[in-house]
Amino acid sequence: MSSLKVKLGILAAGLMLSGCMQATHFEATDTKAFKPKDKELLAKVRYENTPVAEPFRRAIVDYHRKESPGSILVDSDNHYLYYVLDGGKAIRYGITVGEEAMAWSGIAKVGSMTEWPAWHPTPGEISRLGVPTYVAPGPDNPMGSRAMYLYSGGKDTLFRIHGTNQPEYIGASISSGCIRLTNEDAIDLYNRVKVGTIVVVLEPKHGDSPYNSRLALQGGGSNGQAGSY
C-alpha cells in the first residue's frame, strides 16, 4: 500500500470518527515530564513531526469496559490504546498497528521496559524490509523513545508497545505487528505503567474482550506472526 493511500485512509477514518465521537478532553504533552535526554534527542529528530489527526490525539475519555485501573487495552480495529483510570475513565492514545496477517491478540503483561531502545529486527523483518541486523538507539530509531515488551506465559511474544519515527501513520495498520505511539505519547504511557501491567489486545472485529480476569492473571494469550517493529 502506498504512503499516499495510507495517509488518505487515515484522514478519511479521522473524519468519520470525528462525526460520531463523544466529548473528549484532549491532553497536551507535558514536556516537564521529559528527561534531559528526551529533550535532547527529540530536538534532533530528522523525521517530519507530523501532527496526529484530532481523533487520534491523546485524550481522557469515558471507559465502559471492565478492565481494572492501571491496565492497558488495545483496540486494533479502531487504532486506539486505552490506559484505564479510576472512575470509569481512560487515557486514549492513537496508535499504529500491524497489518492483519501480522496482528497479535490475547492477554500479555509488560515483561520489561526500556528508554530509547535499540532495534533488533527479526530475521523475517531483515529479509522483508532489507534493514540491518541492529539499529542503535537514537532520535530516528524506529523503536522511538520508549519500548514496553509484551510477555505471555512467561515468554517474550516479540511484540512491543513503542514509539515511532513515522508519526504520520498513527491511525493506520502498517507495522510488523507492534503497537506504535508517537514518541511523546510513548513517554507519557511509559511513565504510567510498570513491569507486570496487564495488556489486553482485542481480536480483530471483536468488540469485547474474550478473556476473563482469571486468564488475564495467568498471562494467557494467542500469538499471531511474530514481529518486533
The stretch 30-50 carries a mean pLDDT of: 93
Question: Average pLDDT, whole number, for the chain?
Answer: 82
Q: Is the pLDDT of residue 211 over 60?
A: no
The stretch 188-209 carries a mean pLDDT of: 86
The three-point CA angle 120-124-125 to 5° equals 55
* 175: confidence class by pLDDT, cuts 50, 70, 90: confident
CA distance 51 to 33: 20
The pLDDT assigned to 126 comes to: 85
Q: Is the pLDDT of residue 7 over 70?
A: no
Catalytic residue among 20, 25, 120, 162: 162
Segment holding 147, helix H or strand E: strand 146-152
Specify the range with the lowest mean pLDDT, choosing from 12-26, 83-97, 106-120, 197-211: 12-26
Q: Is the pLDDT of residue 222 over 70?
A: no
Catalytic residue among 20, 120, 178, 206: 178
SS3 assignment, position 2:
coil
**First-to-final CA distance of the chain:** 17
The pLDDT assigned to 116 comes to: 98
Of the two residues 147 and 24, the one the predictor is more confident about is 147
The pLDDT assigned to 12 comes to: 47
- Single pTM value for the model: 0.80
CA distance 34 to 144: 14
Question: Does residue 79 carry a catalytic annotation?
Answer: no
Cross-strand partners of 199: 72, 108
Q: Return the HEC string of the chain.
A: CCHHHHHHHHHHHHHHHHCCCCCCEECCCCHHHCCHHHHHHHCCCCCCCCCCCHHHCCEEEECCCCCCCCCEEEECCCCEEEEECCCCEEEEEECEEECHHHCCEEEEEEEEEEECCCECCCHHHHHHHCCCCCECCCCCCCCCCEEEEEEECCEEEEEEEECCCCHHHCCCEEECCCEECCHHHHHHHHCCCCCCCEEEECCCCCCCCCCCHHHHHHCCEECCCCCCC
The stretch 216-224 carries a mean pLDDT of: 43
Q: Is the pLDDT of residue 216 over 50?
A: no
Structure confidence by residue, pLDDT tens digits, 48-76: 999 999 999 999 999 999 899 999 999 99
Among 133, 116, 123, 139, smallest CA distance to 190 is for 116
Question: Does residue 162 carry a catalytic annotation?
Answer: yes
CA distance 171 to 97: 8
Structure confidence by residue, pLDDT tens digits, 95-132: 999 876 566 789 999 999 999 999 888 888 888 888 88
CA distance 51 to 186: 15
| Most confident option among 8-12, 17-21, 167-171 | 167-171
Structural domains in the chain, sorted by start: 3-221 (2.40.440.10)
Q: Is the pLDDT of residue 186 over 80?
A: yes
CA distance 6 to 157: 27
Considering the chain, what percentage of its residues have pLDDT values greater than 70? Answer: 77
The pLDDT assigned to 15 comes to: 43
Of the two residues 203 and 224, the one the predictor is more confident about is 203
